[in-house]
Amino acid sequence: MFYMSLQKSNFVLGTVQLGMKYGLNNRHNQPTLDESFSILDAAFAAGINTFDTAYAYGTAEDILGAWIQDRSLADKIRIISKMKPHVLNDYPDGAKAIDVIKTELKKTLNRLNLNSIDGYLFHSPHYIYLRHMVDGMKKIRDIGVVKNIGVSIYNEAEALQAVEMGIDYVQVPYNIFDQRLDRTVFFELAKKNKVTVFARSPFLQGLLLMRPERMPKNLFYMRPHMEQFIEIVKKYHLSPVEASLIFVKAHCRADYIVFGIDTLSQLKNNIDIINNFLPNTVKGLVEEIENCFKDFNQGAVNPSLWSKIKL
């Protein structure tokens, strides 16, 4: 039986749910500190040694920092964080932007109880169009407190711009409903320019795990697609979470896949799915999902464009 060891996996644990209540389908409160430590311990024990976080993720950086210090893991894990959104908007001057980047990174390092981190990304993707902003990040990389610099993007134009700017990491959305980048040359350019790609949001902020009747009113236009997805999943005797993870693992050309969880039991379930699926049995599933859901536009799949939702 095929078995994928997570020690050699390309999965990254996202930590936004540790720092705040997040996601359409999240019916749990923010984990306690002890619960967060248990989740992080279980992920690390399973072979996940890379963790994705951000200033904007509530207390996630602080929780990660407390865990890293308590478990003495500074030299055993990789941390990728993201700058405070829009913090550079008022600094068109390159030299001043560098000072702000240094200050923000220092705050992140203090929260994480680290002297350096593996990756530091723009959380405001429009900065990738500004050469002096990118040059400022490169100077920070040269200092040595961050090994890789990059950006978290939301659309195809930002992704294509990013891989031409001499950065190291690009984080992109990718899931069953969001295959937009497959219609571009993004993945080819990333490989050519030696840019490491992280695919996030395999569950589309929990939308892919919702029952159609529970979907928010402003997303009811997606209900027929969710019903179609559920019918496909049933045909292959899978759950929505299984199909979502398997599709991204089998179909996406990213180097790493970033997934988030609300509880320890969800983490264990996801790890079981990752470890035990048989690649040769999912070809039909992957092909059917690709053909049925490959043409969504940005308005349908970009959560930042969804109107305010009340569950």
- The residues, ordered by sequence, that sit 6+ positions from 179 with a Cβ below 8 Å of its Cβ are 251, 290, 293, 294, 296
pLDDT tens per residue across all 311 residues of the chain: 223 344 446 899 999 999 987 655 556 678 999 999 999 999 999 999 999 999 999 999 999 999 999 999 999 999 999 999 999 998 877 778 899 999 999 999 999 999 999 999 999 999 999 999 999 999 999 999 999 999 999 999 999 999 999 999 999 999 999 999 999 999 999 999 999 999 999 999 899 999 998 888 888 889 999 999 999 999 999 999 999 999 999 999 999 999 999 999 999 999 999 888 777 778 899 999 999 999 888 878 888 777 644 44
| Segments making up each domain of the chain, as ranges | 8-305
SS3 68: helix
The third-level CATH classification (topology) of the domain covering 8-305 is TIM Barrel (3.20.20)
Task: Quote the DSSP letter at residue 87.
Answer: T
- Rounded distance between C-alpha atoms, residue 206 and residue 224, angstroms: 17
**CA distances for 61 relative to 20, 29, 33, 95, 131, angstroms:** 11, 18, 12, 27, 28
Question: Facing residues of 21 across strands?
Answer: none
Helix axes 283-293, 223-235, angle to 10 degrees: 170
Is the sign of the CA dihedral 176, 250, 209, 120 positive or negative?
A: negative
- Rounded distance between C-alpha atoms, residue 222 and residue 148, angstroms: 37
| pTM exceeds cut of 0.85 | yes
Tokens encoding 106: 């220092």
